[in-house]
Chain A
Amino acid sequence: MHNLYILATGPLLYLSFALFFGGMFIQILFLVIETYRKERFMFSFLSLSSVLMSVAHWLFPFGSTVMRREKTLTLMGFGFHIGLFILPVFLFDHVLLIYESWGVYWLTLSGMVPDVLSVFVLSACVYFLFRRSTKPEIRYISTPIDYLIPLLVIFPVATGLWASHRLPGYPIAHITHILSGELLLSAIPFTRLSHMVLGFFTRVYTSSEFGRTRAAHDW
């Protein structure tokens, strides 16, 4: 158990960081190089003001038409994404680990916030799975991996909640938390989770085209 812990917080942790940062970096690099090589014209249509306008509408809750229509999904989606970003970066235990290793630290979450966020993320995952399996149009375009991804998120968050409250069996929960967290991080570049970065690229191009060439709103 102890060895596993050492492995998980040592080499595996670095491996997952390497896979995540390296994988994303290579993806972006290839994307930009290929665009430059084959579709260089795309650069000439980029427009900062259009991108900012569009991103502003899509990055704020209910800023776009579809968000106003799908209220539950918007709420769940925003809570989920905010939680997923804030929890790993600002959790006290995580920052403490980083401080111990590298001597840097930043703001941390306190009180009930981590618990509330975790519960929100978990409920959102359940909601996503429910939505995916009950709506025919979504089931039709879903692959096995699409059902797996929410599970990939549920694991680290649920075990994190478990371990932080010292519930029975928490040492196992703790190690599962670390391992599944690393798995999630490493999976990002290789699954649809890469939308966290690629999504910005597609949005930048679409909003430039809409805003500049087509003088129309894309939200």
Chain B
Amino acid sequence: MNQQAQITDKYELDRGIENHLEHLKPETIRAEIDAVFRSETGSRLKAYMKTCVHCGLCSDACHFFLSFDRDPRYSPAGKIRQTLWEFMKNIRHITADHIRKAAIIAYTECNLCRRCVLYCPFGIDTAYMMGVVRRICHRLGVTPLYLQDTAHSHSAFMNQMWVKEDEWIDTIHWQEDDARDEMPGLRIPLEKQGADIMYSVIAPEPRFQADLIYKAAILMTVAGVNWTLPATPGWDNSDMAMYSGDDEIMGRITRTHFEAAERLNVKKIVMGECGHAFRSVYDTGNRWLGWTFPPIPVIHAIEFYYDLLVSGKITIREKFKDPVTFHDPCNIVRGRGLHEKARYIIHMACENFIEMTPNREHNFCCGAGGGVINCGPPFKNKRMQASRVKADQIRKTGAKVVITPCHNCHSGIDDILHHYKIPMTIKFMVDILTLTMNKPVNGTGDGL
């Protein structure tokens, strides 16, 4: 059986990918690939392609390669071979089948986790190159259906989950009401001009994890933080367009987010516990807008909690007893080096912390990142198979709770725990903090 057949066999057809392939003409394919090579990439891509000595050292870095029993097709360089090599060598002969294969590889067989970069003697960034493949697929309209749906939602509503403006505001009021049962003085200040901090979250929070907003409000109130949330678009910091290859929408999302902060005249943005959103706002989307570093200081929740603990604005009442382990999210560890701060928080709040091996910059990706989980049900089985090394790594810790400050990691690991029947639960850092910290019963904070 040829490789093409093998690849397409094992995936349930994705309508987003298939529907567009039918209409693709070879000239269109050629024109779009050419356009990306000519106008959107340059010497960086060329240098990566030329420098790679095909040594295969990056293979063992990739959880796909390891989980699929060292199948060469899943090694980082192997994925480049099946996609960009072909594009560069045979641009005239690229067919719709090549594009299907490239889309499946780039969207569903690489989490853009950048672990392989640490294992390449030349620091070749395979994740960047897979991003280029995604960009080509996006320009050809060949994107997985579920992922594209989130990009559409971003485009239409400026949030990832079709949350309407009144639903957002309503959710905030609802969480405020609930939290006031626990802490009567609590407010969740919407649209507060001149607050110190704009707090932003990803759309799944109001959609189905609203308790996280509740917990953030408790934390802010106890710490006496002068904070606010925007009532207008810009409250959602997530960005799946970055992963679908839709750079234009990525730019719009990041701009809207910054503009909300600008309009509210805040000093800095604190982003909730999400990794990919941080990657977009701090790094990718920000650059697409032309900023070297964000125009308004942006910090991830981990940095924020760390600051609160170090400055004594929150204190721990009683440490969490169950043994915990920590999953380092790619986008805030390889993407922002927050691993030591995260460990500081855990040591402060938990009694028994067990490290995963490998850890910190070398941690394995959860398998969900890079938009892979957002490609939805057609690719879930493959995602679970690809997470075998992750499952083993988690199981070996023997902990009872996995902490991870990232939504993608959270959902990905939750799936892994169920699929591999690992008797553990998963928590965000804010779950642990709100459980263990001192909470004055009538906290008023100055969040009003």
Contacts and interface: CB of A to CB of B under 8 A. Distances in A.
Contact of A35 (B43, B57, B283, B287): B43
Contacts of A30: 43
**Among A136, A137, A201, residue most surrounded by chain B Cβ atoms (within 10 Å):** A137
Sort chain B's interface into a size bin.
Answer: 35 or more
A215 B55 CA distance: 27
Contacts of B337: 214-216
Contacts of A32: 43
Contact of A202 (B118, B122, B362): B122
A206 to B, nearest CB: 3
Contacts of B125: 206
Interface in A178-219: 192, 194-195, 198-199, 201-203, 205-207, 210, 213-219
Contacts of B321: none
A216 B122 contact: no
A64 B59 CA distance: 16
**Among A45, A132, A202, residue most surrounded by chain B Cβ atoms (within 10 Å):** A202
Interface in A3-33: 30-32
Contacts of A203: 122-123
B43 A216 contact: no
B51 interface: yes
A139 B59 CA distance: 12
Contacts of A2: none
Interface string B49-64: 0111111110111000
A76 to B, nearest CB: 12
Nearest to A38: B42
Given A65-B118, A195-B122, A137 B72 contact: yes
B59 A137 contact: yes
A140 interface: yes
A138 B44 contact: no
A216 B333 contact: yes
A39 B56 CA distance: 28
Sort chain A's interface into a size bin.
Answer: 35 or more
A150 B334 CA distance: 35
Interface stretch (B73-81, B233-241, B376-384): B73-81
B5 to A, nearest CB: 17
Contact of B51 (A44, A54, A195, A214): A195
A128 B119 CA distance: 18
A141 B81 contact: yes
A70 B120 CA distance: 12
B336 interface: yes
Interface string B69-93: 0101101011011000000000000
**Among B41, B122, B292, residue most surrounded by chain A Cβ atoms (within 10 Å):** B122
A66 B50 contact: no
Contacts of A217: 118, 361
A143 B50 CA distance: 13
A199 B51 contact: yes
A106 B59 CA distance: 42
B61 to A, nearest CB: 8
B124 interface: yes
A207 B287 contact: no
Contacts of B54: 132, 138, 141-143, 146, 192
B72 A140 contact: yes
Contacts of A127: none
A69 interface: yes
A45 B292 contact: yes
B44 A194 contact: no
A141 B50 contact: no
Contacts of A195: 50-53, 122
B132 interface: no
Interface in B89-146: 117-119, 121-125
Given A31-B47, A65-B362, A214-B337, A135 B121 contact: no
A216 B53 CA distance: 25
Interface string B221-258: 00000000000000000000000000000000000000
Given A146-B53, A192-B53, A202-B51, 7 more contacts: A64-B121, A66-B118, A138-B56, A141-B75, A198-B50, A198-B51, A216-B339
11 contacts: A69-B60, A135-B56, A137-B59, A141-B78, A192-B52, A194-B51, A195-B51, A199-B122, A202-B48, A206-B122, A214-B337
